Structure formats: C-alpha cells, structure tokens
DNA sequence: TTCCCTGCAAAAGTTTTGCACTACT
DNA sequence: AGTAGTGCAAAACTTTTGCAGGGAA
C-alpha cells in the first residue's frame, strides 16, 4: 500500500460501510413517506420505485422507463418523471447532472460520495474522501456562505480505457 | 500536504493573478485559431465573440443572444450556438452545467477555479484552492485514472442571502 | 365518494440540423 | 469561383403539463 501521499489512505471506494438498506426497506420507507404526505400508493409507483431501488445506480429516465416497461408495460413516461420527482421529495433519490444532456438518478441515503466519469466509456466510479469533505466545509466557512450541498466530479480516462487506448 | 485546517489561507477569490488578456487579445487569438483550421472570420462570429469576451461571465446562450441582438439584430440563435461550439473547440470557452436546465459559458484560459452557486439568488462566486487541486490529482492517481478535467461546485446560501434570510 | 393518480398527447425549453441563400478568402 | 457560413424554420431531445378517465383510501 503506497503511503507517499496521505490522500492514498483516505481514498476508498464508496460502497457501504454499514449495512445497506434493501430494496424492501426502501419500499417501506417510501410507503410511509407517502402516507405522511397524504399521498397514495399505487401499482405504478411501486413498480417504478422497486425497479429503481433494485437497479444499478446512475440510471437515466429513459433507461428506467425501459426497465419498468419490462415489469409493467402500461406505465407512461409522465408517470416515470412524476415518480422520480416524488422520490426526490421523499429524500430517497438524488438527481445528478453530469456532462450530458439528460439527468441521472441514484438512490439516496447512503454515505456521501463523489464521482469519477470516464470520458470514453461513460463508466461512473464512486469514491469518498473525508479530507475533501473537510476542506469543502473550510472553504465555505471562509467564504461566509452556508453550504447545502456540493458536487465534485472528476473526468478522464478510467484504468481500462487508459490501457486499451 | 493538504490539511483541512490550513485551507483558510489557501482560499482566495479567483480573479487574475497575472495580467488578464483583453477582449482584443482574445479576438486576435480567435482569428488565428480560425485561420489554423481553415475557417472563416465573419461579421457574425466577430460580433458574438466580442460580446462574449467583453461581457460578464457565466452567460447563458439566451442572454448572449439578447446581448448580441443589441449589436447586430440580424444574428440568429443557430449562429449563437454554432459560434459557442466553435469557441469551445478553439479552447476559448468553457461550457458549464450547473443545476439548471441550460448551459452557461465562460471565458477560458485563465487560472483554474471552482464555483459556489447561491441556491436563492443564483449568484456565482469563483474561488480557487491549490490544496483542493492537489488532492484531486492524488485521488485520481490512487484510482489509476487519467484526469482530463474536473468540476467542483458548492451550493448553498451566499453571505447576503444568509443574513437577509 | 372523493380526490389523487394515470396515460396520452401536446407543450415547453434548450439545442441541433436541413436547406437555400450569402459572403468570405 | 468555390466553399464555408448564415438565417429561418423545423426537428430533436428531455422534461412538464392539461385533461379526461380510472383507482386507492
């Protein structure tokens, strides 16, 4: 394990350090958040939410639509978008805008992490680094601003594309 | 070695540390880049590029269109977009996608900086921090990726909105 | 039974493109 | 003269919305 830079020790893949909620856990949360708001649970919402919770991360609306269609061919695009917005309001989803035209969505509620996006193959790698987080807070404090969220994205060639190049 | 506690000393407003090229300087560069590529200089391109170089940063295509119209009412949206793309290819412009629907454009070629965006008033504050840059490179190295560019955006309430709140 | 929810299609917002015409070099 | 550039309008793409009908509580 290299130790020249102290960043080395701090960089680690984002995947869960404590138990990650299952799709079922998240469905229960979704239902209770809906109830809290006086909104209804419906077959479409459940289908969309379950597919979203079970699928790989950083999905686009288009991809989600295609996946949901496999389970429930009746669902329309409008309901996909409306449900994505709803999941966001329920704090169960993050909406991300990488350097593309369309938004990508990921399951919320895990430890904060940032992203590396491969310019060539589009692969998205998550990582986390506590020093980075601390430094951002320090910068915000110095500027006198109140931080609500932030975005830190690295772009380049992933290890695979780099060698294949 | 980056440390969060001394970030204070490193945070400074981004504005130029060495002489900033004038709009005229940039126009000359633009013309020579066009020539290199066998492309033509035209009245519309000059009008758009000059307005862009002289105007405030982080402009949207819509705002630029309105400004250019004042100088040359004949210019169409298509030419605005085509010229923005051209300026990008000439490395004279950065395209940014903050948390909005539309892209914003800024003059390229100055020292690298990052952005704070106010959630309330939309104000954009630039800042730079060398520790942050170093740390990003260290992270990239650790992940085995080749970095081409990155994006670091802080969102929240600016000092003004924070007190007015 | 009451609204909320859904699907469809149309609209909206941003950016790109086809085409005939214009104008640099 | 020849080729790249322009304006307009239409298209493309992503996301939102109006509306009439359907379904959860």
Same domain, yes or no: B100 and B117: no
Q: Which residue has the higher pLDDT, B3 or A144?
A: A144
Kindly write down the DSSP assignment for every residue of chain A, as one continuous string: ---SSHHHHH-EE-S-SSPPPPHHHHHHHHHHHHHHTTPPP-HHHHHHHHHHHHS-SSEEHHHHHHHHHHH-TT--HHHHHHHHHHHHHTTSEEEE--SSSS-EEEE-SS---EEEEETTT--EEEEE-HHHHHHHHHHHHHHT-EEEEEEEEEEEE-HHHHHH-
Indicate whether B14 belongs to any domain: no
Same domain, B153 and B117: yes
A positions 77-96 inside 8 Å of B (CB): none
Chain A's closest residue to B165, CA to CA, is A146
| CATH number assigned to the domain comprising residue B31 | 1.10.10.10
The pLDDT value recorded for residue B14 is 59
Distance in angstroms (rounded) separating the CA atoms of residues B133 and B127: 12
| Average of per-residue pLDDT across A76-84 | 98
Give domain status of residue B52, yes or no: yes
**CA B115 distance to own-chain centroid:** 10
Q: Are residues B67 and B98 in the same domain?
A: yes
Residue A119: CATH number of its domain: 3.30.1490.190
Distance CA B76, CA B57 (A): 21
Residue nearest to nucleotide D23 (CA to C1'): A42
Strand C close to A79 by CB, under 7 A:
yes
CB atoms under 10 Å from CB of A147, counted, come to: 16
Quick one: pLDDT at residue B17? Answer: 52
Give the pLDDT score at A29: 97
Nearest nucleic acid nucleotide to A40, CA to C1' distance: D24
Whether A12 has a pLDDT exceeding 70, the answer reads no
Strand C and A59 CB separated by under 7 Å:
no
Residues A136, A88 share a domain: no
Residue B98 lies in a domain: yes
Residues A102 and A118 in one domain: no
Look at residue A112 in the predicted model and tell me its pLDDT.
Answer: 86
Q: Say yes or no for a CB contact (<8 Å) between A135 and B159.
A: no
Is residue B162's pLDDT more than 60?
yes
Is B87 in the same domain as B50?
yes
Q: Would you say residue B3 has pLDDT above 50?
A: no
Q: What is the mean pLDDT of residues A56-68?
A: 93
Residues 6+ apart with CB under 8 A from A18: none
Q: B155 and B128, same structural domain?
A: yes
The residue range of the domain holding B115 is 111-164
pLDDT bin (cut points 50, 70, 90) of residue A14 is: low
Same domain membership, residue A28 and residue A92: yes
Q: Is the pLDDT of residue A5 over 90?
A: no
The count of structural domains within chain B is 2
- Using the predicted structure, report yes or no on whether residue B10 has a pLDDT greater than 60: no
Whether A90 and A154 map to the same domain: the answer is no
Residue-level pLDDT at A110: 74
Question: pLDDT > 90: what percent of chain A?
Answer: 75
**DSSP-based three-state secondary structure for B127:** strand
């Amino acid at each position: 394990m290299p130790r020249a830079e102290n960043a080395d020790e701090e960089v680690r893949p984002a995947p869960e350090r404590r138990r990650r909620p299952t799709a079922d856990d998240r469905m229960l949360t979704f239902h209770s958040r809906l109830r809290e708001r006086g909104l209804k649970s419906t077959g479409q919402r459940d289908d969309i939410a379950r597919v979203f919770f079970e699928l790989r991360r950083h999905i686009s609306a288009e991809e989600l639509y295609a996946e949901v269609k496999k389970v429930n061919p009746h669902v329309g695009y409008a309901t996909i978008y409306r449900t994505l917005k709803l999941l966001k309001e329920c704090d169960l989803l993050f909406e991300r805008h990488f350097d593309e035209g369309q938004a990508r969505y990921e399951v919320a509620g895990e430890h904060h992490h940032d992203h590396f996006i491969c310019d060539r193959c589009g692969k998205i790698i998550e990582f986390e680094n506590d020093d980075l987080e601390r430094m951002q807070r320090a910068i915000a404090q110095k500027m006198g601003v109140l931080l609500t969220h932030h975005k830190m994205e690295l772009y380049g060639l992933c290890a695979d594309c780099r060698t294949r190049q």
